[in-house]
Amino acid sequence: MGHRPAALVAAALACSACGACGPETTSFRTTDHSDTTRFGPPSAAYDVYLAGQLVARAHVWSTGGFISASDEPMTHVGFEISNAGNQSLMFDGDALELVAFDSDGDRLPPPRLTAITPRGPSLVMIPPGDTIVLAAYFLLPVRPRNVIGMEARWMLRTASDEVRQLTGFLRDDDAPILERVPPAPRSK
């Protein structure tokens, strides 16, 4: 019996030191096209078509909102895009935006894209048969728990066409906060 209070205190201290347990950390789950079979946070899954042809399979997820080391409210949106066509695709980082909403459903001031990793050009080339994994980080205009929902607006391009996609997210404080380890890059 004497060890139980010590164990509870140790667990509470470990949890307070862990970013995923902090009061400002929260999960966001996708609102449509959900694919719960993947490792890590559930993702929205899309078959992307241009001119009636399947050109890509995409998964989009968020590992949630958090407070950065510099005490700024942030969130993450991840992308895994597989080129299913016979020509190169481009993920357009300049067209990527995030819209955030408060608990009344009102639009918040725009979150600011701070980084896309791995770093590279704003148009990320995806050769036929290849898969890329990207992580986008946004500075939120309010603390993460003040965001009830988000919409990620993203675009894929070919040499002659483009397709815009929208992925919705809702805050889900009961969902586990997981990190997704991206697969190793594929080489031809």
What CATH number is associated with residue 99? Answer: 2.60.40.10
pLDDT of 22 reads: 57
Q: At residue 3, does pLDDT exceed 60?
A: no
**Model confidence pLDDT, tens digit, residues 130-142:** 999 999 999 999 9
Residue 187 in any domain: the answer is no
CA distance 99 to 153: 8
Q: At residue 125, does pLDDT exceed 70?
A: yes
pLDDT of 1 reads: 42
Residue 163 in any domain: the answer is yes
Domain of residue 55, residue span: 25-171
95: Cα within 13 Å, side-chain hemisphere: 15
Residue 16 in any domain: the answer is no
Q: At residue 14, does pLDDT exceed 50?
A: no
Residue 11 in any domain: the answer is no
Residue 143 in any domain: the answer is yes
**Model confidence pLDDT, tens digit, residues 43-53:** 999 999 998 99
pLDDT of 39 reads: 73
pLDDT of 24 reads: 77
- 55's CB contacts (< 8 A; 6+ apart) are 48, 49, 83, 84, 85, 87, 89, 156, 158, 163
Residue 1 in any domain: the answer is no
Residue 178, sorted as left (phi over 0), alpha (psi -120 to 50) or beta, turns out to be: beta
Residue 120 in any domain: the answer is yes
Residue 183 in any domain: the answer is no
pLDDT of 176 reads: 56
CA distance 129 to 15: 42
Mean model confidence pLDDT for the chain: 82
pLDDT of 93 reads: 95
**pTM of the prediction?**
0.79
Residue 109 — pLDDT band, cuts 50, 70, 90?
Answer: very high
Amino acid found at 48? V
Q: How many helices (H) and strands (E) are present in the chain, helices listed first?
A: 1, 12
Residue 89, beta-bridge partner list: 126
Residue 119 — pLDDT band, cuts 50, 70, 90?
Answer: confident
Stretch 82-103: mean pLDDT = 96
CA distance 72 to 77: 16
Number of domains in the chain: 1
- CA-atom Rg of the chain in angstroms: 18
